Amino acid sequence: MKFYLLIILSFIFIGIPGILYYSFRKDISKIMKRINPKYTGQVNNPFDFFRIIKAYRHPEEVNTYEKRKLRLSIILVSISWIAALLLFTTFIFFSDQILN
């Protein structure tokens, strides 16, 4: 039962933000290609994530609507990465309790 609960929770915290991010990824790519030509647009690329943060911190290049999209993408990617890290460490340290 613990294993199924972990799978459901991982889908909620990794899958749903990932699907939401993927749904407007093209908008983010258009914004970022205009601001930073080095942006690749690959999913889960840490360099692109930090480029998004850097673009978000410079408000003179981004209007309010674009800034909201960048902020939402930062939040969604952060939630996915933190949840994946927690899931991985849970499997590493508590695998006996989960798989029993």
Report the SS3 class of residue 40.
coil
Range of the domain at 39: 2-99
Give the model's pLDDT for residue 69: 92
pTM of the full structure: 0.81
Q: What is the mean pLDDT of residues 30-39?
A: 89
Average pLDDT over residues 46-67: 87
pLDDT the model gives residue 68: 92
In the structure, how many helices (H) and strands (E) does the chain have? 6, 0
Total domains present in the chain: 1
pLDDT at 72: 92
Contacts of 7 (CB under 8 A, 6+ apart): none
pLDDT above 90: percentage of residues in the chain: 11
Q: How confident is the model at residue 75 (pLDDT cuts 50, 70, 90)?
A: very high
Percentages helix, strand, coil for the chain, rounded to the nearest 5?
Answer: 85, 0, 15
In angstroms, the CA 58 to CA 48 distance is: 16
